[in-house]
Structure 1
Amino acid sequence: MINQTRVSEFIIIGFSSIKEVQIIFFSVFLIMYVFTFTQHVIIILVIHLDHRLHTPMYFFIINLSFLEISYVTVTVPKMLSGFISGIKTISVKGCFSQLYVFFFLGTTECFLLTAMAYDRYLAICVPLHYNGIMDTRTCIKFTGGCWCAGFLAPLLPTIFIFRLPFCGSNVINHFFCDSPPLLKLSCQNIDSIEVINFVLGSLILLTSFCLTMVSYIHIISTILKIPTKNGRQKAFSTCASHLMIVIIFYGTTIFTYVRPRTINAFDFNKVVSLIYSVITPMINPIIYSLRNNDIKQALKKMLTPVCM
């Protein structure tokens, strides 16, 4: 028999209940969070302070950095507090707020990565028309569209999940409030909501991934036409790094959300979710910015007066 008492809070299991292991996890995730946060803040400050970097590409990078600071802050601090205090409960409203904001930011990142790939396509494949097409107004429209679409897309699924009755177990086998483990806790038929999630997830993830890949295919085709070997190698190095991050991000998110039914192996799902929600935001600054010579020079210029 299902316990008909409505739950007032959820318990987020996280990764381990052993105190010694939790301390290790706390240290590792704290280092990762601080490292991620610091990298993105440095990138935002460097681009903001150096007027030479006030170009469309770096405008998109600032948005990506701000987005990923928010992205990791939605889940990691709550997880860290659970490791230290041992209190792993979260209110129902707090859980669904975390769920919505997480999907809002994740969806925005999908659209933003697509816009960034298109920006690089214009810069590399049609450089003579780039400044005419990608002006300040167009950049604002692109980024504004990404944020607005990201805000609206998860609204309906979150409302549907929020209206579900949760009258059985209140234990979430995850490290944050994610939709697959939440749906498993409902004492109502969830087939229609799973279909909505599947269709919407497929539409957002597969469409943005395909558009991003089309841009990179054209970029690679253009790079192959570069006459010098050194020029091709340098361009391929940057392009391959970007492409690797895109494939990791989309590969893990598509595996998690684009499937007709939830998979019960939540321990494996937690590892996959960790890749796109914590590890990818930590790696992105290195791939997109800190390996960039313009960013390096601007950072060196900004630090020189401090070191003197």
Structure 2
Amino acid sequence: MSNSSFPYEFLLLPFADTRELQLLHFTLFLGIYLTALLGNGLILTAIACNHRLHTPMYFFLLNLALIDLGTITITVPKAMANSLWDTRTISYAGCATQVFMFVVFLTAEFSILSIMAYDRYIAICKPLHYRTIMDRRTCVNMVAAAWGITSVYAVLHTANTFSLPLCRGNTLDQFFCEIPQILKLSCSDAYLREVGLLMLSILIAFGCFVFLVLSYVQIFRAVLRIPSQQGQHKAFSTCLPHLAVVFLFISTAFFAYLKPSFTSSSSLNLLLAVLYSVMPPAVNPLIYSMRNKELKEAVWKVMTGCFSEAIYFLSSAYHS
């Protein structure tokens, strides 16, 4: 690293020191990454190709699948490449890009999850007004606003973070570029601006969390008033997967950023980062398709269709 306040590259935290463990890490991450690609890809294809799933709930789920693909793609491939080639480096521009994209996807996921909670609240608590409130234009505008606001938010964070002079080395205590780890390298009081912005972000996130909790309190009260068990089961089948995804995302992310400083260690930071940035994109498709009969049937139809096409292609190639 040069003596400049702005290094040409950063050093990421390795998962292992020995070659065998590095290859094991590469294999595990490759399996998780392919699982996320397959699961979210099937959900995207099923929703796009099945007209019965062209509803607000599945439109938001499609966006969530896109976010999950982006979240895991911005972090895992670089970590896999570093383990495979036994290196730790990431360029300054690559680090800035990773920070920007990660903030976009992380914030967008929280926004979409909040919108999905509002969608479920309207569907269950105000079913007679659902089609009027959640029309196509409203859904598109909410999603567009979420993506637009999160993009501006990410630009502010990235520009502010990478304008700080760094004089405490170029080694990050994380396997990808993360704003709190970059702030630790700053030697200027200017980093307090970014800390203040992060605290404001936490307050906004807490407000969204309160909104999620209040929404589901109202949802469960409405579901319990449904007279038939079949109706209750159908309502729960659309709410519980979303609630499970919300809990998985919020619990790991909040503990990662709000844990006490005395519990901080490289191993713990690594584990928490994997839990909130790598596991949800791989697990979310399973959670959503497990109790949703419509989505399960659509995904199965896509899988059997692809399998039939593959058999036809192979047989045609063999006979030719």
Identify the range of structure 1 (235-244 vs 255-264) with the bigger mean alpha-carbon deviation.
255-264
Q: Is 1:202 matched with 2:203?
A: yes
The CA RMSD measured in Å over matched residues stands at 2.3
Q: What's 1:152 paired with?
A: 152
Q: How does 1:103-252 map to 2 (within 5 A)?
A: 103-189=103-189, 190-203=191-204, 205-229=205-229, 231-233=231-233, 235-236=235-236, 238-252=238-252
The AA in structure 2 aligned to 1:153 is: Y
1: distance between equivalents of 2:247 and 2:3? 44
Q: Is 1:278 matched with 2:278?
A: yes
The AA in structure 2 aligned to 1:87 is: T
Q: Is 1:32 matched with 2:7?
A: no
1: distance between equivalents of 2:37 and 2:180? 28
Q: Post-superposition shift, 1:301? A: 3.5
For the Cα contact (< 8 Å) 1:198–1:258, is it kept in 2? no
1: distance between equivalents of 2:303 and 2:85? 38
2: distance between equivalents of 1:111 and 1:303? 30
For the Cα contact (< 8 Å) 2:168–2:187, is it kept in 1? yes
2: distance between equivalents of 1:116 and 1:38? 23
Unaligned stretches of 5+ in structure 1?
Answer: none
Q: Post-superposition shift, 1:178? A: 0.4
2: distance between equivalents of 1:259 and 1:163? 27
For the Cα contact (< 8 Å) 2:120–2:239, is it kept in 1? no
Q: Post-superposition shift, 1:225? A: 0.9
Q: What's 1:54 paired with?
A: 54
For the Cα contact (< 8 Å) 1:202–1:258, is it kept in 2? no
Q: Deviations over 1:13-63 (max 9, x none)?
A: 132222111111111111001001111111111111111111111111111
2: distance between equivalents of 1:43 and 1:233? 23
For the Cα contact (< 8 Å) 2:74–2:102, is it kept in 1? yes
Task: Go from structure 1 to structure 2 and tell me whether the alpha carbon gap of 1:158 and 1:302 turns closer, same or farther (over 3 Å shift).
Answer: closer
Identify the range of structure 1 (164-173 vs 231-240) with the bigger mean alpha-carbon deviation.
231-240
The AA in structure 1 aligned to 2:184 is: K
Identity in percent: 37
Identify the range of structure 1 (258-267 vs 145-154) with the bigger mean alpha-carbon deviation.
258-267
2: distance between equivalents of 1:139 and 1:262? 44
Q: Post-superposition shift, 1:248? A: 2.2
Q: Post-superposition shift, 1:218? A: 1.2
Q: Is 1:81 matched with 2:78?
A: no
2: distance between equivalents of 1:224 and 1:12? 50
2: distance between equivalents of 1:299 and 1:8? 45
Q: In structure 1, the residue corresponding to 2:278 is in which secondary structure?
A: helix
Aligned length: 305
For the Cα contact (< 8 Å) 2:108–2:150, is it kept in 1? yes
1: distance between equivalents of 2:304 and 2:273? 40
TM-score (norm 2): 0.88
Task: Go from structure 1 to structure 2 and tell me whether the alpha carbon gap of 1:56 and 1:86 turns closer, same or farther (over 3 Å shift).
Answer: same
Q: Deviations over 1:167-218 (max 9, x none)?
A: 3311111110001111111222333322221222322x21222222222111
Q: In structure 1, the residue corresponding to 2:277 is in which secondary structure?
A: helix
The AA in structure 2 aligned to 1:48 is: A
2: distance between equivalents of 1:262 and 1:113? 31
Q: Deviations over 1:265-301 (max 9, x none)?
A: 3431221121111111111111223531111222344
